Amino acid sequence: MIERDDLRAAVAAGVVTEAQAARLTAMSEERRGIRAIMGPSDEPFELFRGLNEIFIVVGLTILYFGWLAVTGLTIFNNLGAAPVSVVGLSIVALFAIAAAAQYFTIIRRMVAPSIALACLAGLSLLQMGLGFASIEDATIGAKATITSATVFTGLLLYWWYFRVPFTLALIGAAALAFCYSLSLANGAAVLDLENAFLLSAEGPFALITIALGLAALIIAIRFDLSDPHRVTRRSANGFWLHVVAAPAIVNTVALTLLEADTAASNLLLLAFLFVIALFAIIIDRRSFLMAGAGYAVALSVIVLEEGASVVILALGFGLV
C-alpha cells in the first residue's frame, strides 16, 4: 500500500504533482471510509496543516497591509477624494490575491493560506464596494446596499472558482449585510445594536437573520447528505454553513426569550435549547451546541441563582 511518505517522495522526484498527490490521498481516504476510523464524537475540522502554512499566512498578511500602506488605500480614508482610484487599486489587489490563490489553493492545496486569502479578498471587495458607493451621492442605505452587494457577488464568484469552504461563512455575513442594507434603503429603521436580534424590536433585522440562518442550514444539510462519510470538501462547506446558521437562529430566538424574562419565556427557552441540543446530536454538528451553551448558562443563573453553579459544572462536563 502506498503511504503518505511515498507520495511525498514521488512529488519530490517529479513523478506526480502535488495536486495529483492530494487527490490520490483524498480518494484513498474516501474508499477506506475514513469516517469509520474516527471516534464517534469526532467532527472533521482543519484550519492548518503545519507551521509552514502559518508562516505563509503571516507573510501574506504583512504583504497585504504593506500594499495598503504603500498605496494609501484604506477602508475608511480617501474614498470621497478619489473613489475611482480606490476601485482601481482594489481590482489590482484582487488580481494579486487571485494569482496567489491559484498557487496556494489550486496547486498546493493549503488550508490556512486559502482561508487567509479568502479574508483578504473580502477586505479588497469591501474597499471596492465602498469606492463604487462613493462615486455618486446617495443615501446611507443605498451606499450600504452597493457595498454589500459588491462583497456578496465577489465572494460568491471567489467560492465558485476556488471552492474554499471558509468563503461560505464570509458569504453568509455579506448576505446578512446586504439584506439589512436593502431594508435600510427601503425605509427601515436604523439598526439598534442592543436590540438587533430581538424579534420584538422594530425593523426586519431579526427576521432577516432567522431567514438567512434557515437558508444556510438547509444548504448545509444538503452538503452533509451528499457526503455522509465527511471526507470531501462538501463536508467542509457544510461545516462553515452550520457555523453561520447556528448563531443566526439560536441567538435570535434565545435572546428574544431571555429578554422577556418571564416564567413562560424561560420555560420556552429551556425547551428551545433542548430541541437545539437534540438537533445538533442528530445531525452530528457541534456548532448548535456551542451556540446554545451560553444561553443555558444564562438561564440557569437567572432561574436557579446560587444553585446555578452545579448546573454549569454539569454542562461543562457534558460538553467535554
pLDDT digits (tens, 9 = 90+) for 295-308: 666 666 655 555 55
Task: Determine the Cα–Cα distance for residues 307 and 301; give it in Å rounded to an integer.
Answer: 8
The pLDDT tens digits for 264-277 are 877 888 888 888 88
Task: Determine the Cα–Cα distance for residues 133 and 142; give it in Å rounded to an integer.
Answer: 8
**Structural domain boundaries of the chain?**
1-32, 39-188, 194-320
Task: Determine the Cα–Cα distance for residues 32 and 124; give it in Å rounded to an integer.
Answer: 41
Task: Determine the Cα–Cα distance for residues 201 and 252; give it in Å rounded to an integer.
Answer: 11
Task: Determine the Cα–Cα distance for residues 61 and 76; give it in Å rounded to an integer.
Answer: 19
Pinpoint the alpha helices (H) of the chain. Answer: 4-12, 18-32, 51-71, 83-101, 112-135, 140-162, 167-185, 205-226, 233-260, 263-283, 287-304, 308-319
Mean pLDDT, residues 220-230: 82
User: Distance of alpha carbon 178 from its chain centroid, rounded?
Assistant: 16
pLDDT for 68: 83
Task: Determine the Cα–Cα distance for residues 54 and 111; give it in Å rounded to an integer.
Answer: 10
Q: How far apart are the first and last CA of the chain?
A: 36
pLDDT for 172: 92
pLDDT for 137: 74
The pLDDT tens digits for 132-185 are 887 777 777 788 888 999 999 999 999 999 999 999 999 999 998 898 888 776
Q: Which three cell numbers stand for residue 171?
A: 458569504
Greater confidence, 23 or 245?
245
The pLDDT tens digits for 70-116 are 776 665 554 545 777 788 888 999 999 999 999 999 988 888 999 99
Q: Note the residue count of the chain.
A: 320
Residue 176, amino acid: L
Report in angstroms the alpha-carbon separations of 320 from 41, 226, 277, 289.
11, 29, 14, 12
Nearest-Å Rg of the Cα atoms of the chain is 23
Task: Determine the Cα–Cα distance for residues 269 and 192; give it in Å rounded to an integer.
Answer: 23
pLDDT for 70: 79
Q: Which three cell numbers stand for residue 195?
A: 436590540
pTM of the prediction? 0.77
Q: Which three cell numbers stand for residue 173?
A: 455575513
Q: Which three cell numbers stand for residue 199?
A: 424579534
Contacts of 302 (CB under 8 A, 6+ apart): 258, 261, 266
